[in-house]
Amino acid sequence: MFPSSKSALLLAAIPSVLSAAIHTGVSDMQAAPLHQLMPRALSVSKSGNTITVDTAGGLVFKVHSNNCDITSMVYNGQEAQDQSSGLGSATVSYTTIGNYVKITCETSTLTQYLVAQYKNPAIHMATYTSAEPSVGELRFIARLNRAVIYKGYTESDVQGGTAIEGKDVFKVGSQTHSKFYSSKRFIEDQVHGLTGNNIGAWMIIPRYGYESSSGGPFFRDIDNQGTEQEELYFYMNSNHMQTESYRQGLHGPYVLQFTTGSSPSADVNLDFWETLGEIKGMVNFADRGYVKGTATGVPPGFDIVLGWKNDQAQYWVKAGSDGSFTSPKMKPGKYTQTLYKGELEVATRDVTVEKGKTVSGSIASTEGLPSSYIFKFGEFDGTPKGFLNAECVLNLFPPSDSRMHDWLRTVTISQGTGYFPMAVFKDIGPVTISATLTSSQLGARTLVVATTSAFAGGRPHVTVNNWSGPNPSAPTQPDSRGVTRGTWRGNNNRYTISIPDGVLVKGSNTIKIDVLSGSSGSQFLSPNFVFDAVMLY
């Protein structure tokens, strides 16, 4: 089951969880024939074009030997699979190594590994690529039988809906649903899944599962879509607001785990992959190194996140409240290390990781913000958290969902961030700040407008009373919809507008922030940008 109607290089799969031990009472032992008391063994067999694997843990799955499609997944007697498609053709081989069965599926640019573990109802997987699929994204999809596994994410269940933007945002009753609304930030997305009656299918992506993915710790991508089937995803890369180039190499390992319904732990031991013979692109833990240190200068109340990246790999970790951190086990090489205040980059440095060594990576924030200001909306943390509609936009479509608040409005300083819209759209109109100032607050001042992402070249243009501010150049941003399909994460930008002496007056002042762009569009698909924070000092 490598289902994808779009490309033979888009994948699909299933989850894994430790099965319960077999318990047999004394009376059963006395009554049962001897052959029934013998524990089942992990087994693999081939009949015609079908490879059948019995994990002896409740999961039996079948793989087509000509194309690596998983054609059946039966867990405790329930058929979990709905349909399959995928690689088109592949060279498929299998072998038993101790308590594991390894199936290897090879094409000219992609190798998919499927591994069964004795007594574990799961399919362990890894995907090696030497080139990006022509479709421009790499994903594994388990297309699941909705009659059996039917409890997915409400916000991504589009069955019976009407498409209102492209083919991925739907009106379902009075609400808007989309597969994009199932997404979570990579740094938090280690386990996601779906359930039914005494069955659950879960995708487990351990901390090394994203090693060859792209986008960093705050990137988010599709986890689920509910149609006539339930689709369970692991997106290894895509152009859904992608901020960096794709990486090739070994993606994973990752796991499609079956349970009787409960969510499995993300803390799974996958060290056995090092015992399975050749796995393309694998770097054993003994050949890796660590970065350890302390991050300073991030104010209390903000997550302290460290990230590392180069052309081959990416890693991240949250620091402790005291700023101390130890990286994951990293491939040797030179990395750019980044310190984040929330999601905002506040410092970078180079660090070189060496095999079997721990190197120092202490780092201090270089962010400079004034300690006093006239007003501030939001926090400089790389997110629009606290702004109006900020939480809604992660799972609601702006123009069509009645749960959204009005975007076009005037905000007074006293109303605060919660009344200030999290984004401005060219075709909707500006946000207006009404500021009553005292004589001590006049003179030459600086307005800072920080943004997290933009669409179609959108950037802020500021008008203060009768004065028109400068026209900034277009920002570098992903060529993708953002706020209309559930994300604010792009490239952070900070615009500093110097307001001359005499522009601000004692008493009432009007500050308008509108969208400047050479492009156009209708309503919420017009050029736009998302606020991080706005400050006048």
For position 304, which CATH number holds? 2.60.40.1120
Do 105 and 224 form a contact (C-beta atoms < 8 A)? no
Question: 223 and 258: one domain?
Answer: yes
Read off the pLDDT of each residue in 55-67 and give the average, rounded to a whole number. 97
Give me the number of domains the chain comprises: 3
Question: Residues 6 or more apart from 347 whose CB is under 8 A from it?
Answer: 297, 338, 339, 363, 364, 365, 366, 367
pLDDT, tens digit (0-9, with 9 covering 90-100), for 423-448:
999 999 999 999 999 999 999 999 99
Question: 387 and 459: one domain?
Answer: yes
Quickly state the pLDDT bin for 86 (edges 50, 70, 90): low
Kindly state whether residue 370 falls inside one of the protein's structural domains. Answer: no
Q: What rounded mean pLDDT belongs to the chain?
A: 91
Q: Which pLDDT score is estimated for 469?
A: 97
Kindly state whether residue 24 falls inside one of the protein's structural domains. Answer: no
Question: 411 and 528: one domain?
Answer: yes
Residue 9 has pLDDT above 80, yes or no: no
Q: Which pLDDT score is estimated for 22?
A: 25
Q: Is 483 helix (H, G, I), strand (E, B) or coil?
A: helix
Q: Which pLDDT score is estimated for 110?
A: 97
Residue 233 has pLDDT above 50, yes or no: yes
Domain end marker among 232, 250, 275: 275
CATH number of the domain that residue 196 is part of: 2.70.98.10
Question: 350 and 385: one domain?
Answer: no
Quickly state the pLDDT bin for 85 (edges 50, 70, 90): low
Q: What is the dihedral of CA 383, 387, 389, 390, to 10 degrees?
A: 10
Residue 18 has pLDDT above 60, yes or no: no
Question: 105 and 244: one domain?
Answer: yes
Question: 384 and 453: one domain?
Answer: yes
Question: 458 and 348: one domain?
Answer: no
Read off the pLDDT of each residue in 50-58 and give the average, rounded to a whole number. 98
Kindly state whether residue 430 falls inside one of the protein's structural domains. Answer: yes
Residue 397 has pLDDT above 90, yes or no: no
Domain end marker among 275, 305, 322: 275
Q: Hey, CA dihedral for 162, 153, 144, 281, is it positive or negative? A: positive
Question: 136 and 236: one domain?
Answer: yes
Highest mean pLDDT, choosing among 155-164, 342-351, 400-409: 342-351
Read off the pLDDT of each residue in 122-143 and give the average, rounded to a whole number. 95
Look at strands 304-309 and 314-318 and give their pairing.
antiparallel
Distance between CA 224 and CA 233 in Å, rounded? 6
CATH number of the domain that residue 499 is part of: 2.60.120.260
Read off the pLDDT of each residue in 117-139 and give the average, rounded to a whole number. 95
Q: Which pLDDT score is estimated for 254?
A: 98
Of 185-199, 294-308, 331-345, 392-406, least confident by mean pLDDT is: 392-406
Kindly state whether residue 493 falls inside one of the protein's structural domains. Answer: yes
Q: Is 165 helix (H, G, I), strand (E, B) or coil?
A: strand
Q: Is 179 helix (H, G, I), strand (E, B) or coil?
A: helix
Question: 234 and 342: one domain?
Answer: no
Q: Which pLDDT score is estimated for 88?
A: 78
Highest mean pLDDT, choosing among 86-95, 128-137, 172-181, 357-366: 357-366
Question: 419 and 523: one domain?
Answer: yes
- DSSP per position, 244-289: S----EEEEEEEEEEESSSPPPS----GGGGGSS--TT---GGG-B
pLDDT, tens digit (0-9, with 9 covering 90-100), for 492-517:
999 999 999 999 999 999 999 999 99
Kindly state whether residue 158 falls inside one of the protein's structural domains. Answer: no
Question: 426 and 462: one domain?
Answer: yes
Kindly state whether residue 384 falls inside one of the protein's structural domains. Answer: yes
Read off the pLDDT of each residue in 278-289 and give the average, rounded to a whole number. 97
Q: Where are the beta strands (DSSP E) in 342-458?
A: 344-353, 358-360, 363-364, 375-378, 410-412, 423-425, 431-437, 445-455
Residue 482 has pLDDT above 70, yes or no: yes
Residue 84 has pLDDT above 80, yes or no: no
Of 74-78, 393-397, 464-468, least confident by mean pLDDT is: 393-397
Residue 34 has pLDDT above 80, yes or no: no
Q: Is 344 helix (H, G, I), strand (E, B) or coil?
A: strand
Range of the domain at 351: 285-364
Question: 209 and 351: one domain?
Answer: no
Kindly state whether residue 311 falls inside one of the protein's structural domains. Answer: yes
Q: Which pLDDT score is estimated for 26?
A: 30
Q: Which pLDDT score is estimated for 153?
A: 95
**Nearest-CA neighbor of 497 among 433, 437, 449?**
449
Domain end marker among 364, 395, 425: 364
Q: Hey, CA dihedral for 368, 308, 125, 77, is it positive or negative? A: negative
Distance between CA 437 and CA 476 in Å, rounded? 35
Kindly state whether residue 22 falls inside one of the protein's structural domains. Answer: no
Tell me, what DSSP letter sits at residue 28?
H
